[in-house]
Amino acid sequence: MGYSKNEIEVRKLEHILLCKYCNVEYDKTTLLEDVELIHRGTSGINFNDIETEIKLFGKKLSAPIIVSGMTGGHTIAKEINKNIAKAVDELGLGMGVGSQRAAIVNEDLIDTYNIVRSYTDNLVIGNLGAVNFIVDNWDEEIIDKAVEMIDADAMAIHFNPLQEIIQPEGDLNFKNIDKLKEIISNYKKKYKDIPFIAKQVGEGFSKEDAIILKNIDFDAIDIQGSGGTSWAKVELLRIKDDETKDLLKKFVNWGIPTAASIFEVKSVYNNIIIGSGGIRSGLDIAKCIAIGCDCCGVALPILKASLKGWEEVVKVLEKYIKELKIAMFLVGAENIEELKKTPYIVKGYLKDWISQRL
Amino acid sequence: MGYSKNEIEVRKLEHILLCKYCNVEYDKTTLLEDVELIHRGTSGINFNDIETEIKLFGKKLSAPIIVSGMTGGHTIAKEINKNIAKAVDELGLGMGVGSQRAAIVNEDLIDTYNIVRSYTDNLVIGNLGAVNFIVDNWDEEIIDKAVEMIDADAMAIHFNPLQEIIQPEGDLNFKNIDKLKEIISNYKKKYKDIPFIAKQVGEGFSKEDAIILKNIDFDAIDIQGSGGTSWAKVELLRIKDDETKDLLKKFVNWGIPTAASIFEVKSVYNNIIIGSGGIRSGLDIAKCIAIGCDCCGVALPILKASLKGWEEVVKVLEKYIKELKIAMFLVGAENIEELKKTPYIVKGYLKDWISQRL
Amino acid sequence: MGYSKNEIEVRKLEHILLCKYCNVEYDKTTLLEDVELIHRGTSGINFNDIETEIKLFGKKLSAPIIVSGMTGGHTIAKEINKNIAKAVDELGLGMGVGSQRAAIVNEDLIDTYNIVRSYTDNLVIGNLGAVNFIVDNWDEEIIDKAVEMIDADAMAIHFNPLQEIIQPEGDLNFKNIDKLKEIISNYKKKYKDIPFIAKQVGEGFSKEDAIILKNIDFDAIDIQGSGGTSWAKVELLRIKDDETKDLLKKFVNWGIPTAASIFEVKSVYNNIIIGSGGIRSGLDIAKCIAIGCDCCGVALPILKASLKGWEEVVKVLEKYIKELKIAMFLVGAENIEELKKTPYIVKGYLKDWISQRL
Amino acid sequence: MGYSKNEIEVRKLEHILLCKYCNVEYDKTTLLEDVELIHRGTSGINFNDIETEIKLFGKKLSAPIIVSGMTGGHTIAKEINKNIAKAVDELGLGMGVGSQRAAIVNEDLIDTYNIVRSYTDNLVIGNLGAVNFIVDNWDEEIIDKAVEMIDADAMAIHFNPLQEIIQPEGDLNFKNIDKLKEIISNYKKKYKDIPFIAKQVGEGFSKEDAIILKNIDFDAIDIQGSGGTSWAKVELLRIKDDETKDLLKKFVNWGIPTAASIFEVKSVYNNIIIGSGGIRSGLDIAKCIAIGCDCCGVALPILKASLKGWEEVVKVLEKYIKELKIAMFLVGAENIEELKKTPYIVKGYLKDWISQRL
């Protein structure tokens, strides 16, 4: 599609600034508030024995938290990625980078991504768009470029139909996405056998999606459901024209809430599930894991913190870890495996959702 | 019943002006907000492949949208009908005209209806009131007059007990409406074999109604449920006398919400269903089709636009079509047949309604 | 119990004035709003054929409406009873009088009750308190006095534990109320075979109550549920002392909502059911009859109207009848028997109530 | 853990003052509002026959009400305990004292607890923290000290993981709490055979907890659920540092609502259940008993009253008893055993909770 490298850069900068300064979050919620963990009055554990460590994609994480891939391709994005890398290195967590297409198209931008490897050997996840494998006929060579660019431990392929349809510059062809099966398989055979993650960008995957992703042999699904950053809201702020604004407003609440998407995917998919989209506390993380996730991704609060400095990112993540540990103490879970088995209640709309769909 | 031709004209004008300037919409909703379409994160289709075309009553429509029959019988009504006709011609959609009784009673008013045929050969639907076949002993000859007046492709017979009971001038006898079976059958035999549509005017049909309408051999049901224009509200504005006002207030929320009426009718009726009553976006249209409609009707937003000019009507309808296509893209439906099969969730009051009635 | 005749009179006047000027209605509702009658788009009837007539306790009523027994024993009460009698006579409806104890205790007050017979031969229902048959050892002779006082067509025995407990002067012994069985039976044998009605005063009867009332051989139950006048609220206004006020506040929402009480009683009781407590429109009456009542009672709106004159009472009742007829037209019910069979939906809390109790 | 005796004292004083002057109650409710007792229109009993007496832990109580153990270890605490003791003695009720650890650690403080025995021979319940039996290796000798200190009729062992985790000085080890089984058994053999109560402090016990407590052979469970005083809110007021404040806010609504906790515990535990946490009226007490409790505990309203004088405590408790008796009259329950069998409805979230957990 006809857009210049410069246009991509400008859009990326706009997105960062809008997320920093404006309300870009869904009016509707993640539905995690419809999940209630059950207090254990007797607790039965020693807080100091609590272990939050997990292993993910071959690397150890000190807690089931990754910073979701958000940005790249711009000077500010480089700074953001650097700060996130320093923070996750400090805390023993993992991170993703934003869509690497900018650097695939323009090699001058590679350093805005691979800066992360100057600061951490921890888990780093690469990121490419599913739509480009169709529209731009990308193949395993592009994947190889992206992986090598940042020495990626795993590769996320993002699916973003809403984002594409609402951007004036969007790519609109998601037909034949099952060709990804062969491309990924070829990549693994010819290059490296690293895990691949199918990732949404804030509207969630349905169970129908999960079946398709399973057939493509994705090793993990990062559900990124609704309730956090709304791309329709971000675009609404970027766009001047009244009629497009009016149209966008119809879709600002489109998408599957995070908690609902976790239940949808879990019902048909047995591999690794990452819960993300509107994760705003360690209590949210505890809930996601209790209802079926292996790990959680955090984005917007980290983006905001990263613009202030890496120490701010550390602070936010430390608070999440502490909250997670308190929640584990109060439900009497000594480690993440026990947290996965803790009882919970599902109420309200989430309960209705589950009863009708699963 | 004793009312002069002039009275009918004045009332029609009042209705148009009240709809233009005042809040005449139900406080209660269509319950379409209780229908949630399921986002498909993988989409799986090419936006540019999406086809919204349908065939309805022997004519092609570029999208499953008709402008509901609203008016006629007045100079302003003529202008409205003209603008709608130009717009639907431009976009390849269909339209209805308002009740043709005014022109049946007074031939001078015929041009306020047949103006539409100077601007379009697309689907045009005629319109007569069921109550007059009982009260005024109308027969197939009257139908013939109405059809020929506008060269109608199909004929709507409207049922409007609430409207009649709340108008001081109303006809109040809906007894023996099954005589319509013979009249319609006679018409089809003696004149033209065109389809007949039973149409409500904003209070919806129940499943009990649908069984009766099926037995009368109606070819389609236009459910026109509650949630859009409230005729009790319109009358409330027209009426001065406090006691009648007080009485009308008790019935401003009477009626079956549009989404509920669609489920009611669908449960017993296998022919064509048109969803209307409070349709305010292409997303509403997508929902109606997902839950069982073949096409949707839009009224109030088009009435308002038509008073500004035909280009305004085009704009509103284009926006609806665009929204419909975006919704189809996001649920991965390439055409209307696929949209009919897309999964959805029913929540809240609509869920309760269905569980108790169907 | 020791209270003077004068005290009874003063209390009665206070009650009337508080009901006239203050908000004495429940914060909680009758739950009739959780009942939705189903619109019949085809109607199928002629409005002018609609018959609202019923037969109740051997007398004809032009509509299923009685004015609930409210007052007596005071000059103003006499005026109220007179105005109600004139109005029901005008319209062909029935009425009750308030508790006749005042006149049993003090014969000078008889005319404040029997005034009604100077104005109507229609259905008039007498009224005595159940508690006095226990506390004051009343017997069939007292009933005879009450019946003869107003030439009653039927006799209501009211049960008012909340009212008694919250009044400083209250009688608090409802033990052995089954002795009413013998007293009523004796009365019927020795005096007149008229029907007896068990009547609540705004807190409703439960199904457990209905079984007891059935065993006492009551011919009808007037459920008088919560949602209309709250006696705790009335007392709250009368009482000065802060501590009692605080205590009363705990019970201002006590009681079984009218709609719930109708379902409770209907589930175990096959005889005549009168729906009352918060009936505020003909639509409420239509709903009560659809869910199982034979007739409805109206109180507070009539009390207020009666203080302005008998023509006001006529106006209010005429409006109720008109609203009832419109509702019947819109559900396609030609008479009360058909209205009893009209379909309806039960939603919200009322649905929960029914599913847990019945 | 290293904190001085003085620190304990200061904290205790702070807690008392915060409870007196600030809003320290949960935003979420006890869910007792989701319990509706069913009005008995016929009542069937004599108010003057109503007996509220129960026997608890070998002593008679004039009503099923105890004042929950709240404080001790400070001059003001001594005054509070004295006033509560005088009040319960006056009314024939029971009481608990606050955690006796302060006096175990510092014998000078003993009189702030044993003051109660100068004013009452009624039921007095001692109080020690479960966590100290683990962290400080307490044994049956400590229990003996606590029992003898106040001549306790029963001993409460409190479980307070939330309180400990949110206090900077908190003890965080609840591992191996089943060692309490042997300690309690030893105590009973070597010293006195008095009943032991497992008690929460405002977050409730789950059914999983109740099974553990049953196995430890606790004679009673005092569920102290959420909806009353929130310890996270109290701490939020004490703490200055913004980050800890932010973290505490995540847990201010943590816990099992009182009504839910009663149902949880009742489902697996057949011994004595005390309902507490947010009990604010005699109607609350009636509900707790109807859904399964043997007695109720009241805290915050009594703390506030006790700071004004013992007569204020009497007033509050008398009002509760009166409200309880009115509720019993209105449901037709002559005594506590009958109240336990009165029917009720469970609605809203509480209904959902029960259906998913029990």
Q: Mean per-residue pLDDT for A150-158?
A: 98
C-alpha to C-alpha distances, C265 to A175, C54, C208, C279, nearest whole angstrom: 61, 21, 8, 17
List the single residue in C with minimal CA-CA distance to B246: C319
For residue B334, the distance in angstroms to the closest alpha carbon of chain A comes to 10
Q: Show which subunits contact D, needing at least 3 CB pairs below 8 angstroms.
A: A, C
Q: Pairing between strand D272-276 and D295-298?
A: parallel
Mean pLDDT is lowest, of A240-244, B73-77, B133-137, D182-186, for A240-244
* Mean pLDDT of the region C195-199: 98
**Residue B1 has what pLDDT?**
38
- The percentage of residues in chain B with a pLDDT greater than 70, rounded to a whole number, is 98
Query: What is the rounded (10 degree) CA torsion for C6, C10, C11, C13?
Result: 140
Domain A5-357 sits in CATH 1.10.3720.10: no
Is residue A115 pLDDT above 90, yes or no?
yes
Q: Tell me what the pLDDT averaged over chain D comes to.
A: 95
Chains that touch A (3 or more CB pairs under 8 A): B, D
Structure-block tokens of residue D186: 């030893």
Helix (H) or strand (E) holding A266: helix A258-266
Mean pLDDT of D327-345: 97
* Tens-digit pLDDT profile for residues A234-265: 888 888 888 888 888 999 999 999 999 999 99
Which residues of A touch chain B, with CB atoms under 8 Å apart?
A: 130, 159, 161-162, 165-166, 172-175, 177, 198, 200, 203-206, 208-209, 212-213, 226, 243, 246-247, 250-251, 254-256, 349, 352-353, 356-357
pLDDT, tens digit (0-9, with 9 covering 90-100), for D46-105: 999 999 999 999 999 999 999 999 999 999 999 999 999 999 999 999 999 999 999 999
CA distance B52 to B268: 27
The pLDDT of residue D240 is 85
Q: How many residues does chain A have?
A: 358
What mean pLDDT is predicted for residues A190-219?
97
Contact, B324 vs B290, CB < 8 A? no
Average pLDDT of chain A? 95
Confidence class for position A4, pLDDT limits 50, 70, 90 = low
Q: Which residue has the tokens 């009055």?
A: A41
Position A3 pLDDT exceeds 60? no
Q: What is the average pLDDT across A316-324?
A: 97
pLDDT at D342: 97
End-to-end CA distance of chain A: 39
From A2-6, A290-294, B347-351, D345-349, the region with the lowest mean pLDDT? A2-6
CA distance A118 to A112: 11
**Band of residue B4 on the pLDDT scale cut at 50, 70, 90:** low
Interface test with A, best of D199, D208, D351 (most A CBs within 10 A): D208
Question: Do β-strands B344-346 and B35-37 pair in parallel, antiparallel, or remain unpaired?
Answer: antiparallel
Read off the pLDDT of each residue in C123-150 and give the average, rounded to a whole number.
Answer: 97
* Token reading at B57: 């009553």
CA distance C174 to C161: 8
Interface confidence (ipTM) of the complex: 0.94
Q: Given the DSSP bridges, would you call strands A295-298 and A272-276 parallel, antiparallel or unpaired?
A: parallel
Q: At what angle do helices B242-249 and C310-331 cross, to 10 degrees?
A: 40
> How many angstroms separate the Cα of A326 from the Cα of each of A335, D166, D251?
12, 9, 9
**Checking DSSP bridges between strand C196-199 and strand C35-37, what pairing results, if any?**
unpaired
Q: What is the spatial distance between Cα B208 and Cα B205, in angstroms, rounded to a whole number?
A: 8
pLDDT at D14: 84
The tens digit of pLDDT for each residue in B113-144 reads 999 999 999 999 999 999 999 999 999 999 99
Confidence band of B17 (pLDDT split at 50, 70, 90): confident
Per the CB < 8 A criterion, the answer to whether D295 and D61 are in contact is: yes
Alpha helices, H only, chain C? 5-21, 75-91, 101-105, 111-114, 130-135, 140-150, 161-166, 179-190, 207-215, 231-238, 242-249, 258-266, 282-290, 300-306, 310-331, 336-339, 348-357
Look up residue D54 and give its two tokens: 């129960």
- Locate B126 and state its tokens: 């005629």
pLDDT higher at C139 or C3: C139
User: Is B162–C351 a contact, with Cβ atoms under 8 angstroms apart?
Assistant: no
Following DSSP, what letter does each residue of D165-220 receive, concatenated? HHSTT---B-TTTTHHHHHHHHHHHHS----EEEE-SSS---HHHHHHHHHTT-SE
Contacts of D48 in chain C (CB under 8 A): 172-173
Q: Which pLDDT band holds residue B2 (cuts at 50, 70, 90)?
A: very low
| Residue of A173, A250, A254 with shortest CB distance to B39 | A254
Helix%, strand%, coil% for chain D, nearest 5: 50, 15, 35
Q: Report chain B's terminal Cα–Cα distance, integer Å.
A: 39
- Mean pLDDT, range A221-231, rounded to an integer: 95
| Token reading at A290 | 């209790």
pLDDT at D170 over 50: yes
Which of B212, B251, B206 lies closest to B224 in space, CA to CA? B206
Helical residues (DSSP H) of chain B, grouped into ranges: 5-21, 75-91, 101-105, 111-114, 130-135, 140-150, 161-166, 179-190, 207-215, 231-238, 242-249, 258-266, 282-290, 300-306, 310-331, 336-340, 348-357
Nearest CA in chain D to C213: D42
Give the integer Cα–Cα distance in Å for B238 and B170.
Answer: 14
Nearest Cα of chain D lies from the Cα of A86 at a distance, in angstroms, of 21
A222 has a pLDDT exceeding 60: yes
The whole-number pLDDT of residue D18 equals 87
Q: At A160, list the tokens.
A: 């973003």
According to DSSP, the residues that pair with C55 across neighbouring strands are: C60
Percent of the residues in chain A that have a pLDDT greater than 90, as a whole number: 85
pTM of structure: 0.94
Q: For residue C53, give both structure tokens.
A: 């007539």
State yes or no: pLDDT of D132 exceeds 80: yes
What's the mean per-residue pLDDT of chain C?
A: 95
Instruction: Give the pLDDT confidence score for residue A146 in this predicted structure.
Output: 98
Contact D53, D63 (CB under 8 A): yes
Residues 6+ apart with CB under 8 A from A191: A140, A143, A144, A147
Q: Over chain B, what is the mean pLDDT? A: 95
State the smallest CA–CA distance between residue D41 and chain C in angstroms: 5
Choose among B154, B125, B149, B119: nearest CA to B314. B119
Mean pLDDT value across residues A270-278: 98
pLDDT of residue A1: 38
Sorted by sequence, the CB contacts under 8 Å of residue D7 that are 6+ apart come out as: D169
Query: At residue A215, what is the residue type?
Result: N
Residue positions counted in chain B: 358
Residue to substitute from C173, C242, C246, C250, interface D, most D β-carbons within 10 A: C250
Q: Judge whether B282 is annotated as a binding position.
A: no
* Per-residue burial over C225-251, b = 16 or more CB atoms within 10 Å of its CB, e = otherwise: bbbbbbbbbbbbbebeeeebeebbebb
Q: Residue A2: what pLDDT?
A: 42
Selected residue of A34, A35, A39 to mutate for chain D interface (largest D Cβ count, 10 A): A39
Has residue C9 got a pLDDT over 80? no
A5, pLDDT greater than 70: no
- Name residue, tokens 């089709």: B289
- C-alpha separations of D39 from A253, C274, D326, D330 in Å: 44, 18, 11, 6
Q: Report domain extents, chain C.
A: 5-357
Task: Give the minimum alpha-carbon distance from D38 to chain C in angstroms, rounded to a whole number.
Answer: 7
* Residue A164 pLDDT class (50, 70, 90 cuts): very high
Q: Which of A337, A328, A342, A341 is nearest to A50 (CA)?
A: A328
Nearest to B346 among A212, A250, A356 (CB): A356
CA–CA separation, B161 and A308 (whole Å): 66
User: C346: left (phi > 0), else alpha (psi -120 to 50), else beta?
Assistant: beta
pLDDT at B238: 86
